[in-house]
Amino acid sequence: ADAARAALEHAGLSADAVDLIIVATSTPDQTFPATATLIQADLGVTRGAAFDVQAVCSGFVYGLSVADSMIRSGQAECVLVIGSETFSRILDWTDRTTCVLFGDGAGALVLKAEAVADSPASPGVLVSRIRSDGRYHDKLYVDGGPSTTKTVGHLRMEGREVFKHAVVNISSIMEEVLA
């Protein structure tokens, strides 16, 4: 909740202004309720919705895209988007190919609806694209889980394959967005 408070302070807003909280995390403290609802309670937000998105590395981008869509559709006016991970809990510290790449941290931003002229200089999200490719699910994963193994498990990654996939796909999405 510290990152959320800092984002609200930076935006000059109180928690009362928030009508949607989205938390992007793959390492929640609990399976449920959603981490977003715990932060909602901590901040004293009593209206709107709160939910988590789980998309690992791209989770914050997914959260931002959903927040933008909710504002554009009129379902929200002031959205708190939080990215938070505690990968230290699921790292295999003997696996030097992963333990040096992942860490713990949190960040947040506030996205607010505002009436502005529609021009390239207008503030806000200009465009977003999100993608996934389930064919590569076995290249970056956690080898456990309460539903399948009743354990937390550890992060596993085929680094070269993940890097190759990321570079090719991120490049094509950037070209698409900038076109």
Give the pLDDT confidence of 48-88 residue by residue, as tens digits: 999 999 998 899 999 999 999 999 999 999 999 999 999 99
Where exactly are the structural domains of the chain? 2-178
For residues 2 and 27, what is the distance between their CA atoms, to the nearest angstrom? Answer: 17
Q: Give the position of tokens 């094509």.
A: 172
CA 140 to chain centroid, in Å, comes to: 17
In percent, the amount of the chain with pLDDT more than 90 equals 51
1-21 average pLDDT score: 97
CATH number of the 2-178 domain? 3.40.47.10
For residues 93 and 177, what is the distance between their CA atoms, to the nearest angstrom? Answer: 38
Preceding peptide of 33 cis, ω within 30°: yes
The kind and range of the H/E element at 108 are strand 104-112
